Structure 1
């Protein structure tokens, strides 16, 4: 037991002596050439090409200089010494340019994030108008399109007479119906009402819904204008037809009826009895 204790003490002393000797054997080096290279690698100064050359009778005698910067040095070393200032942290250095580029990209990233947040918020706002359940509460619908598209809902789906078609009279209705104009107008009316129904009942983005509103409004205005044009044109045509019919040489007086000879003589006598 005592021998084991003695061995442990000796081992401990040996470790302490080894550590102390190792600390004493470490020597801090201060190589000026390495320090100069460190300065060139950052921002402090460009130059100080250590080791310096030494000359004896005009001949360079420093072997260290000759192997690092001189005639025996690698070509890359000589090009580095004779080349441009490439300190990365100088005012126009590559690293500073990277820092500036990084700062610029950070600012751009902030702008993109702000734009993305704006788009997201806008999307959240538009989502409330995506469903058809909330179309009646939309401000633009209440302020404009509800009033402008109201005539479409008030117009009958399948008009059956001149009053429902909003024509002047029955004769105009019969004329337009006979030439097939009302059939074509009915097809256009069906398309307008179908588009209006789709814009009110389908789920879609708010912008697309109002585009459909506007397209429906334009088609309705064109339909109403065409209906008025046919109404006026047909009425004018019928008026001309009646005028020509009344002035025809083969047309009979409206109040004329056949009479006997006796009635003819009596009418003549009554007409001229006060003149003679």
Structure 2
């Protein structure tokens, strides 16, 4: 049994030593192959390293056996990254395509920005965000925009209001204000050039201020007319009383006064 163990151990040692010797491989390199590999990739082109060479008086038989059937092959630069190599052409084409793509992208971005700017200038839906409208015209037209909720007779006495309503001034003011309000809404919602829209705002603001001035004048004149009318009526009543008292005795005058007091 012990002898069998020794024999087995010996065989294992021999096998391991043979395996170690078998792994010591010596790589054989051929300079011709190496030169060809360098010629095909990145290193600088050098015809002197193109082997086998002609030799003395071109008597090297290896050269003729190798390059006799295709003598132009050693003269051709086959590096992919050479000046006219396929990889260099591909890189140049990629660079040209990238430059063209960037030019198209810049052109497309310019068109997009121009379209957005034109949309903001022309679209009626964007007129609400116009800075000039927000800062000035919206405040000036606020009473006109809220005309349906506002009372045009605010601050007037009832008799003045009735006089304006009966004379048709109230209906005239409502109609003119409604027409102006509709024109303003059309200018705000219609697709229109921003400059034309601002000019329309300016013209309608002048018309609106003129309308307010006329309406204020009508209110003042109505108040003045009714005030004068009341004064004239009082004067007429006092004149009538004075005429009625002429030619009466003191007793009749006293009876008239007492009768009016009772009433």
TM-score, structure 1 normalization: 0.43
Which structure has the higher relative contact order (CA within 8 Å, separation 6+)?
2
TM-score, structure 2 length as denominator? 0.45
Q: Which structure has more helix as a fraction of its residues?
A: 2
